[in-house]
Amino acid sequence: MKKFTYTIQDEIGLHARPASQLIRIAKSYKSKITLINTKNNKSAEATKMMAIMALGIVYGITVDVTIEGEDEDAALAELKTFFTGTL
């Protein structure tokens, strides 16, 4: 299992457009990718739009991203790039 933590820098937070990009990335891997809002400890699979939106990830919230599966190293690299470049 791989894991990283990221604090949201985008003023709008994790809204529909970046969430759909995240879902596209998550679905391209066999690994299970989970987002955890560290403020309220809610979690969601990164392939489920409504679950991601229900996390309430806004500016300044810290998110734990866990990746578990056979291609977790590649997924970790791409997700880190996505979060730092988009959120």
Residue 23 annotated in active site = no
Q: Of these residues, 6, 13, 15, 51, which one is catalytic? A: 15
User: In terms of Cα–Cα distance, which of 40, 27, 19 is closest to 83?
Assistant: 19
Encoding tokens for residue 29? 């891997």
Spatial CB neighbours of 28, under 8 Å, sequence gap ≥ 6: none
The residues assigned a catalytic role are 15
